[in-house]
């Protein structure tokens, strides 16, 4: 579903298809807020990006829109995550000696490799959870199976603007008690796949 199609669906639910009280940009801002909430609470937008090692360089910027790093690979080998304190201790003890990175830590949207790579031109593969892009750019970033779950939160915002507190509260409740639990269940099913659960039958 495109952002335009979603905004049309929301307008129809509000019975405001041709209403100028809500601009398209305003509806896109409500949709973006809903996506942002889901992305940061439930880690719904998965990202992948690559960078390239620079000899003796320890620090590499987060990929665009990334807000949480899931895993880092250097030259196809996974490097372990360490705490900020441990990473800074490593810097002190290794005296910035270059080598084959086997750990990373993060600070202020920067990834630090330890030790710094001694070889330039190797791939740094970064798996991340991302923030959404602006829907006005033409895409919805949460998985397409969940697009219709983005209806109730904007409807709550619209009723709030319309000073209908009861309906705003109703749709916010639907968002919190129906949409989010359904999305959590969807994510759990995706994580575990279609594994069968075994049942032990005991004859008494």
Would you state the pLDDT for residue 87? 79
2 φ, ψ (degrees, to nearest 5): -85, 160
- Within-domain flag for 163: yes
Instruction: Tell me: do 40 and 138 sit in the same domain.
Output: yes
pLDDT for 203 beyond 60:
no
Would you state the pLDDT for residue 200? 42
Domain of residue 8: give its range.
3-44+134-187
Which of these, 158, 155, 149, lies nearest to 177 by C-alpha position? Answer: 149
Compare 19 and 46 and report the one with higher pLDDT: 46
Question: Which tens digits make up the pLDDT trace of 137-178?
Answer: 999 999 999 999 999 999 999 999 999 999 999 999 999 999
Other CB atoms within 10 Å distance of the CB of residue 69? 19
- Within-domain flag for 200: no
Question: Which tens digits make up the pLDDT trace of 106-143?
Answer: 999 999 999 999 999 999 999 999 999 999 999 999 99
14-23, 67-76, 84-93: lowest mean pLDDT where? 84-93
- Within-domain flag for 21: yes
pLDDT for 72 beyond 70:
yes
- Within-domain flag for 195: no
Would you state the pLDDT for residue 190? 83
Instruction: Tell me: do 138 and 40 sit in the same domain.
Output: yes
Instruction: Tell me: do 70 and 13 sit in the same domain.
Output: no
Instruction: Tell me: do 39 and 79 sit in the same domain.
Output: no
Would you state the pLDDT for residue 204? 43
Size of the chain in residues: 204
Instruction: Tell me: do 77 and 147 sit in the same domain.
Output: no
- Within-domain flag for 203: no
Which tokens hold the place of 185? 């269940």
- Within-domain flag for 34: yes
> Using CB atoms within 10 A of its CB, is residue 151 exposed (0-12), middle (13-18) or buried (19+)?
buried
Q: How many domains does the chain have?
A: 2
Once rounded to an integer, what is the mean pLDDT over residues 167-193? 93
């Amino acid at each position: 579903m495109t952002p335009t199609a979603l905004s049309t669906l929301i307008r129809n639910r509000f019975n405001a298809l041709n209403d100028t009280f809500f601009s398209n940009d305003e509806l896109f801002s409500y949709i973006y807020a809903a996506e942002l909430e889901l992305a940061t609470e439930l880690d719904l937008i998965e990202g992948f990006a690559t960078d390239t090692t620079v000899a003796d360089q320890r620090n590499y910027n987060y990929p665009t829109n990334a807000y949480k790093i899931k895993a880092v690979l250097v030259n196809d080998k996974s490097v372990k995550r360490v705490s900020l304190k441990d990473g800074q201790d490593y810097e002190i003890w290794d005296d910035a000696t270059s080598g084959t990175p086997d750990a990373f830590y993060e600070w202020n949207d920067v990834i630090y490799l330890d030790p710094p790579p001694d070889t330039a031109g190797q791939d740094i593969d970064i798996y991340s959870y991302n923030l959404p892009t602006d829907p006005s750019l033409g895409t919805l970033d949460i998985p397409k199976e969940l697009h219709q779950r983005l209806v109730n939160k904007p409807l709550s915002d619209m009723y709030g603007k319309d000073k209908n507190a009861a309906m705003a509260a109703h749709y916010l409740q639907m968002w919190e008690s129906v949409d989010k639990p359904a999305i959590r269940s969807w994510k759990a099913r995706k994580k575990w796949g279609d594994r069968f659960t075994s049942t032990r039958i005991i004859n008494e």
